[in-house]
Amino acid sequence: MIKTDICDLLGIEYPVLQGGMAWLGTAELAAAVSEAGGLGIIGAGHMPPDVFRAEIHKLKERTSKPYGCNIMLMSPFVNEVMEVALEERVPVITTGAGNPSTWVPAFKEIGTKVIPVVASVLLAKRLLRGGIDAVIAEGTESGGHVGDITTMCLIPQIVDAVDVPVIAAGGIADGRGMAAALALGASAVQMGSRFVVSEECIAHENYKEAVLKAKDRSTVMTGLTTGHPVRIIENLLARKYQSLEFSGAPKEALENLGAGTLRKAAIEGETKNGSVMIGQIAGMLTDVKPCATIIQDIVREAEEVMLNLKSVIR
């Protein structure tokens, strides 16, 4: 069985984390992942504090195992949501789009682990000074908000630069990807796209179907001129956005076009004019499985891959 320092740090059975996806990282999905031995994560997104608290309570009704919450530091409710996380004594906090150092001391007092998502060595080293417990190094292959360095290049550089465990994210959907991440020095993997097409994910069936039909070149990046690029499946919305973006339109026009489009796709099932956020690994996703089966399959396959690699040493 694959056991790493992340398993000990977070109290989980397998070194597998679920990405904290806005609208889709709900209590249902997070609880299922945690029950299966990984770390389920509620994606707070732009949730108001009362909604966020309700999701935590819903999760606690479904599992007593460790879980986490992903908090977007650009959320208009970030301060209130952080207070809820402290009051509810959330075991693990992952963060994105900013520096969580302001809140680290308070979380340390209650034993919460703080793990930011980073897309560069410079950011990882800067956040390390704030007392974080690990980092999630996310390559540009990921769905949603992304950086510009590939996972293959990013992971070993961050592993060499920090003295805390590194969790690999971006382009990982099976045991081969997990084995590769571990070979690069990561202590665990985080997967978002793979769990989108799980039975427990509340994504609209149209959203899941769009992912299952995707090929290796089906995703594009929008927002390249804004400083906040987003990877989504190419559709009518993506083409409209790219056309507007490169015509010199003001930032406000781009924001208006993108506003609410993730919910439109994920919850309402509008996959032509909605934002179907998914990673480049979508072309490998061909079925919908329970979270427990997904985790068992990836860990078993990773073990097989690593054992088979011994045959090339002569």
In terms of DSSP bridges, do strands 188-191 and 16-18 run parallel, antiparallel, or are they unpaired?
parallel
pLDDT, one tens digit per residue, over 239-282 is 988 888 888 778 888 888 878 888 999 999 999 999 999 999 99
Q: In Å, what is the CA distance from 296 to each residue of 1, 2, 76, 275, 302?
A: 11, 11, 37, 30, 10
Say yes or no: 63 and 175 in one domain: yes
Residue 120, domain member (yes or no): yes
3-state SS assignment for residue 297:
helix
Task: State the pTM of this model.
Answer: 0.94
Residue 184, domain member (yes or no): yes
Say yes or no: 266 and 128 in one domain: no
Residue 2, domain member (yes or no): no
Cβ-count burial of 185 within 10 angstroms (0-12 exposed, 13-18 middle, 19+ buried)? middle
CA distance 11 to 108: 16
Say yes or no: 122 and 154 in one domain: yes
pLDDT, one tens digit per residue, over 79-137 is 999 999 999 999 999 998 888 889 999 999 999 999 999 999 999 999 988 889 999 99
Strand partners, 138: 169
Q: Residue 78 in contact with residue 71, Cβ under 8 Å?
A: yes
Angle at 71 between CA 112 and CA 67, to 5 degrees: 45
Say yes or no: 28 and 170 in one domain: yes
Say yes or no: 296 and 245 in one domain: no
The tally of domains found in the chain comes to 2
Per-residue pLDDT averaged across 184-193, rounded?
97
The parent domain of residue 79 ranges over 14-202+282-312
Query: Residue 155 is part of a domain; what is its CATH number?
Result: 3.20.20.70
Q: Residue 194 in contact with residue 143, Cβ under 8 Å?
A: no
Selected residue with higher pLDDT from 29 and 130: 29
CA distance 211 to 130: 37
